[in-house]
Amino acid sequence: MSYRIGVDIGGTFTDFTLIDDSTGAIAIHKQLTTPRDPSEAVLEGIDALLARRKVAIGQLTAVIHGSTLVTNALIERKGVPTAMLVTAGFRDVLDVAQETRYDLYDLRIRLPEPVVPRHLRAEVAERIRYDGHVERAPDEAEVAAAIDDLVERGAQSVAICFLHAFTNPSHELEVARIVRRRHPTLYVSTSADVFPFMREYERWTTTAMNAYTQPIVDRYLSRIEQGLAGRGFNGLFHIMTSSGGTVTADTARRYPVRMLESGPAAGVLMSSFHGRTMGIDRLLSFDMGGTTAKGAIVRGGAPVKKYEIEVARIHEFKHGSGLPAKIPVIDMIEIGAGGGSIAELDERGVIRVGPRSAGADPGPACYGRGGTAPTLTDANLLLGYYDPAYFLGGKMKLDVAAAARVVQAGIADKLGIDLTRAAWGIHEIINEDVARAFRVHASELGFDYRSASMVAFGGSGPAHATRIARKLRIPHVVFPLGSGVMSAFGMLVSPLSFETARTQRIAYDDLNEERFAAVLDELSGGASAFLRAAGVAADDISIVHRLDMRYVGQGYEIEVEVPRGMPSGEAYRALPGRFAEAYAKIFSISYLKEPLEIMNWKVEATGPQPAKAAGTHLVGVTPSAKALKGRRRAWFPDLGDFVEAAVYDRYALREGEEVTGPAFVEEQESTCVLGPGDVARIDGKGNLVAEIPVAAAARTGTDG
């Protein structure tokens, strides 16, 4: 018998999923994260889950891990002192940034501080021209003096970022060799390796973030590897990336910036997986945990992807207020809304929930671990949405009196309202914040969610999903079995993959079939090398090419996928037509006779999907006629008061069984709240699918 385990670290809880690949049996586990050293929770949780299932560590063939470690290090500025070597005259690129203001009328606007301070940046007198020709080579003595000085100033890592390195990386490679020779323990990142795109600010910022987090990721992964090895583990240890694939630990060490949003990406991947199995190709993925909520759009059975993410925003919803990272990533909207989000009054005297979080230590007041601030979990407990005796399946008891004290003192007394109204205000503000974020995100992508479905998961997501769906007029909400740990499930369906891209500006008319094929082959070989190094056979690697194209003279590119399975010559000839279709889809018109140019060349190499045993099932699920556990008083504003709502055992519900709201469907890791009029049924795949009456009457639309 062989087993694999998926691990997802969140701000409050760390989630685990164990699958028996021979029988398809799946077991899940959830425990508090250890903020001081997240690897402790990872190792302790693996121990606990294996012990509970009586599985020996030697039977474990793979551990797939996702973490917000890199994101948190950037937000909290907990990376290492990082230096930067730049082309002479360009020391201030990180400060000049894009010369844009995310709020034109805010006279007190704040911009994110670069991760590399100015005193740790040094100039190197070298220059490569825009076409790749060398104008001035770097001087070894100058480089040596500069890096020696930066190390004396405390630098533990260095980003090497030269102008036009994406066209010719030779100078960065030469300087990297000099640096490593003089300081072998110094971590080194080069921009041509991390992100070989044009536009130096984004390329240099991405490289700086990679260097800034590289030492902490290296040490973190080493602690887990050593801890697993000490327990007798000799299987594969893979890391989830932000693009929805996995890489080896060595690749993650080289490119830690690709771990941004690795855990949430797995959840979106699992949403699209559920959508495909249910025949739903258009949906919203909604994930709410203990610290944040994330939303993503799935089209055609696959999540929408992009090559840029913004982190450490000063203002949560305002693009341009954070640091841009140019990496392949699933396109997600994120807001500071989760079970541990702290509720307080803002400067206007209005309730604000998040982005500050109580986290895992001390956590919400109802956890009984010393929390003193009112949180969303406290409010949901007071509204009757959670059973204080059944949190985490009864492994963790909640303190209702503590929740009442902090909500009363922090919100109700200050506003002069009763406790229930204060708790409902906290709950409803989160609902509206999430709905507003979805509206913005969907409108930016031209997606009409009114005819789509929602997949809701995370520890807190099922408690809010139907209310948010009402606001968005979404007709169906899907609650997968084990939704409280679904991102950990996503780790188990993620294949090994590697995506890369580079800028190579070429006019279409200057290309020919041979040159086109040569560029694609070179990119394919580079991306495939990471998979072959991980043991994937060449015949098992699938390749997808995408190009950023535009009309000559434009400043904006459109992504066009190279036709799959088509000979390179035919694919080359098909590009103008493919571009015209993509352009017309966005702008309703195209100019067929205008010259085209290719700006960026992208490649995605993917290994085989992890093998799944037939009859995958969650252990402990025993459908019976006794699914109704009892009743619980809870607040439903539609009914104007606390009412007795039915409480169902999620694991006992049988296929086809129907639950009508107001009601609760409880799992060990989450609770689904069904409002008055909601009707939910268990489908043939074990999903709880809720129909929302208000949304069902909405106009059916389609997205572009």
Residue identified by tokens 């670290």 is: 9
For residue 473, is it left (φ>0), alpha (ψ between -120 and 50) or beta? left
Phi, psi of 339 (to 5 degrees): -55, -35
CATH architecture of 497-606: 2-Layer Sandwich (3.30)
CATH architecture of 3-74+219-259: 2-Layer Sandwich (3.30)
Among residues 288, 337, 384, 443, the alpha carbon closest in space to that of 635 is found at 384
pLDDT digits (tens, 9 = 90+) for 643-693: 999 999 999 999 999 999 899 999 998 999 999 999 999 998 889 999 998
pLDDT digits (tens, 9 = 90+) for 421-480: 999 999 999 999 999 989 988 888 888 888 899 999 999 999 999 999 999 999 999 999
One-letter amino acid at 289 equals: G
Q: How far is CA 180 from CA 194, 298, 485, 542, in A?
A: 17, 44, 42, 35
* 84 contacts 161 by C-beta, under 8 angstroms: yes
Global pTM reads 0.86
Q: Please, where in the chain does CATH 3.40.50 lie?
A: 78-213
One-letter amino acid at 195 equals: F
pLDDT of residue 103: 81
* 606 contacts 564 by C-beta, under 8 angstroms: no
pLDDT of residue 515: 92
Here the tokens at position 492 are: 């188990």
Q: Residue 117 pLDDT more than 80?
A: yes
Rounded-to-integer distance, Cα 592 and Cα 423, Å = 59
Q: Residue 78 pLDDT more than 80?
A: yes
pLDDT of residue 194: 94
Query: Average pLDDT of the chain?
Result: 90
Could you tell me the end-to-end alpha-carbon distance of the chain, in angstroms, rounded to an integer?
47
Residue identified by tokens 């406290």 is: 378
pLDDT of residue 698: 43
pLDDT of residue 204: 96
**DSSP code of residue 654:** P
pLDDT digits (tens, 9 = 90+) for 334-393: 787 889 999 999 889 999 998 888 888 899 999 999 999 999 999 999 999 999 999 988
Helix (H, G, I), strand (E, B) or coil at 131: coil
* 550 contacts 597 by C-beta, under 8 angstroms: yes
Give the CATH fold of the 78-213 domain: Rossmann fold (3.40.50)
Rounded-to-integer distance, Cα 495 and Cα 342, Å = 37
* 366 contacts 388 by C-beta, under 8 angstroms: yes
Residue identified by tokens 């100015």 is: 118
Rounded-to-integer distance, Cα 662 and Cα 503, Å = 55
Q: Residue 613 pLDDT more than 70?
A: no
Q: Please, where in the chain does CATH 3.30.1490 lie?
A: 497-606
Segment among 147-156, 421-430, 544-553, 606-615 with least mean pLDDT: 606-615
For residue 565, is it left (φ>0), alpha (ψ between -120 and 50) or beta? left
Among residues 652, 257, 230, 665, the alpha carbon closest in space to that of 465 is found at 665
Rounded-to-integer distance, Cα 615 and Cα 435, Å = 36
pLDDT of residue 251: 94
Rounded-to-integer distance, Cα 693 and Cα 690, Å = 10
pLDDT of residue 612: 65
* 213 contacts 252 by C-beta, under 8 angstroms: no
Here the tokens at position 391 are: 């949190």
pLDDT of residue 337: 83
What's the mean pLDDT in 119-145? 95
Q: Residue 700 pLDDT more than 50?
A: no
Q: Please, where in the chain does CATH 3.30.420.40 lie?
A: 3-74+219-259
Among residues 161, 214, 215, the alpha carbon closest in space to that of 192 is found at 161
Segment among 116-125, 378-387, 602-611 with least mean pLDDT: 602-611
pLDDT of residue 322: 84
Rounded-to-integer distance, Cα 609 and Cα 617, Å = 19
pLDDT of residue 549: 95
- Burial of 419 per CB tally in 10 Å (0-12, 13-18, 19+): middle
Number of H helices, E strands in the chain: 18, 36
Rounded-to-integer distance, Cα 450 and Cα 655, Å = 27
Rounded-to-integer distance, Cα 228 and Cα 207, Å = 30
Count of positions (residues) in the chain: 704
pLDDT of residue 40: 93
pLDDT of residue 264: 84
- β-sheet with 121-124: strand ranges across: 121-124, 82-87, 157-161, 187-190
Q: Residue 506 pLDDT more than 60?
A: yes
pLDDT of residue 703: 43
Q: How far is CA 320 from CA 58, 113, 310, 437, in A?
A: 48, 13, 8, 16
pLDDT digits (tens, 9 = 90+) for 297-309: 998 888 888 888 8
pLDDT digits (tens, 9 = 90+) for 67-76: 878 887 888 7
Share of the chain above pLDDT 90, in %: 64
Rounded-to-integer distance, Cα 148 and Cα 146, Å = 6
